[in-house]
Structure 1
Amino acid sequence: MSLLRVSNLSMSFGGVKAVDDVSFDVNPGELLALIGPNGAGKSTCFNIVNGQLRPTRGSVTLDGHELVGMRPRDIWRRGVGRTFQVAATFNSMTVLENVQMALVSHEKRLYGLWKRAASHFEEEAIALLDQVGMATHAQRACSVLAYGDVKRVEMAVALANRPKLLLMDEPTAGMAPQERNDLMALTKRLAIERNIGVLFTEHSMDVVFASADRMIVLARGKLIAQGDADTIRNDANVQAVYFGTGKTFRPHATLSRDIPKGSHE
């Protein structure tokens, strides 16, 4: 049984179909890349799965439980973690405190003062930081970290709710090549060790081809191709959508220069 099942998903804004009858699955331990040019519907799909948008039609199930209609916080508690294109951490807090806050929230505990809350879940937070290689930085403020390290802290925060599914929105945006490789290698390792399904969007094709187990390609709201690297690389529809010429793109090519970052879908 698939972990995440998206069935016949459609979303319209006025007369515009942002997502048009899209279906796909994500399996435990798998990295599935959701790619496509600007306006393809990637962000809309992501936000529907996360509960930020309610689809016009269709179903999204996690372990057989319907997510459509649930609030984002309830979807998070059910086991859907998320990282963002711009890392979402509290810069004024330490690395450790950021993870502790996520753990406190997941356990539904409320505290009047952060000084009291800071004494809770310290061991659990350190264990999560150790998994992402940041335990030695636990007492540093997030504001002084290199961006690649901030993304690792965000990963530890995303793991605080013991996710079954992790949504990653352009995880390597703004990162140097080695940082990209390291983060995606970490993601793959955690997905396998924790049996987490990962759905991610990414503009850099070298990252996609190096990291994804499978890919699905959207264009103008429709799913036009899905499969492994060779299937996608040789698909005529994908070639035409990305290049308009039928050229075959290579595994280590990057589309980051062809697709402006920070665009809205």
Structure 2
Amino acid sequence: MSRPQNSKLVVENLQRAFGGVKAVRGVSFSLAAGEVLALIGPNGAGKSTCFNLLNGQLRPDAGTVRLDGVDLVGLPPRKIWRLGVGRTFQITATFASMTVAENVQMVFLSRARRLLGLWTPAAGAFRDEAQSLLERVGMGAQADRPCGVLAYGDLKRVELAMALAGDPKILLMDEPTAGMAPGERQDLMALTSSLVRERGLAVLFTEHDMDVVFGHATRIIVLDRGQLIAEGPPDAVRADPRVQAVYLGSPA
């Protein structure tokens, strides 16, 4: 396993089985601040299981997951989130009846553990902070619209703002461009890459669109049947015969 300098996330020998099916088998990798790491592989490769092991939705049968030296294995998702692991989902997770700004404010409130009294208005809490994040992701003008009326690509931007409101060190993005038009996909990942540089984030994302993967990942890891079969910069992974055989196909 290669280990980037200043690694924030270090995964070693991660394993998880469901009955007789070994979904993740001895996976090890590291992720450093400023990296955009893509996790790819064919359907059933173990990508979603690996994601769920990292943020505590599943517990590994073996292996360690460390964030800045702190072992995350066995911690509940809310604790892992507070330690700095944020996540976006393939299907957006917003409150449809609440405004765009309110969705982001809710994350700030949760992060601050603020309990408002029965008669204390929450509408103004962290409004400026939410507006600033929404401006950054291109949603400032829609702050007062209900999320339920937004186009899907705009919902993805709101979800990104919500993830950033949690002040993550590591951002896990599960199929971030699923359901988006090609132009929207590239725009969202370009935005993500710029946020990585600005904030010193580390991003791990899964994606089926290879134009997105090879256009925006700084490094790629490839799973097949639960095992890591390749790791490296995009050009090296694209040329790897094993990756071509199980996922990309032979070059023309």
Q: Please, what TM-score do these two structures have when normalized by structure 2?
A: 0.95
The one-letter code sitting in structure 2 at the alignment partner of 1:172 is T
**Does 1:144 pair with 2:138?**
no
Change (3 A) 1:37 1:82: same
Match of 2:239 among 212, 234, 237: 234
Provide runs of 4+ in structure 1 moved above 6 Å: none
CA displacement, residues 132-161 of structure 1 (integer Å, 9 cap, x when unaligned)? 111111111111211111111101100111
The one-letter code sitting in structure 2 at the alignment partner of 1:242 is Y
Equivalent residue number for residue 107 of structure 1: 112
Equivalent residue number for residue 204 of structure 1: 209
Equivalent residue number for residue 52 of structure 1: 57
The one-letter code sitting in structure 2 at the alignment partner of 1:248 is P
CA displacement, residues 43-88 of structure 1 (integer Å, 9 cap, x when unaligned)? 1110000100110000001111111011000011111111010111
SS in 2 for 1:119: coil
The one-letter code sitting in structure 1 at the alignment partner of 2:22 is K
SS in 2 for 1:116: coil
**Does 1:91 pair with 2:91?**
no
Alignment of 1:1-265 (within 5 A): 1-112=6-117, 116-242=121-247, 247-248=250-251
The total of aligned residue pairs comes to 247
Change (3 A) 1:80 1:114: farther
Equivalent residue number for residue 3 of structure 2: none
SS in 1 for 2:173: strand
Q: Runs of 5+ in structure 1 lacking a partner?
A: 250-265
Equivalent residue number for residue 257 of structure 1: none
Whole-angstrom CA distance in 2 between matches of 1:230 and 1:113: 57
Whole-angstrom CA distance in 1 between matches of 2:247 and 2:40: 11
The one-letter code sitting in structure 1 at the alignment partner of 2:224 is A
The one-letter code sitting in structure 1 at the alignment partner of 2:250 is K
Q: Runs of 5+ in structure 2 lacking a partner?
A: 1-5
Equivalent residue number for residue 258 of structure 1: none
Shift of 1:247: 0.9
Shift of 1:130: 1.4
The one-letter code sitting in structure 2 at the alignment partner of 1:241 is V
Shift of 1:111: 2.8
Shift of 1:110: 2.2
Shift of 1:114: 9.2
Whole-angstrom CA distance in 2 between matches of 1:113 and 1:98: 20
SS in 1 for 2:14: strand
The one-letter code sitting in structure 1 at the alignment partner of 2:212 is V
SS in 1 for 2:11: strand
Whole-angstrom CA distance in 2 between matches of 1:6 and 1:112: 42
Whole-angstrom CA distance in 2 between matches of 1:28 and 1:5: 12
Whole-angstrom CA distance in 1 between matches of 2:246 and 2:251: 11
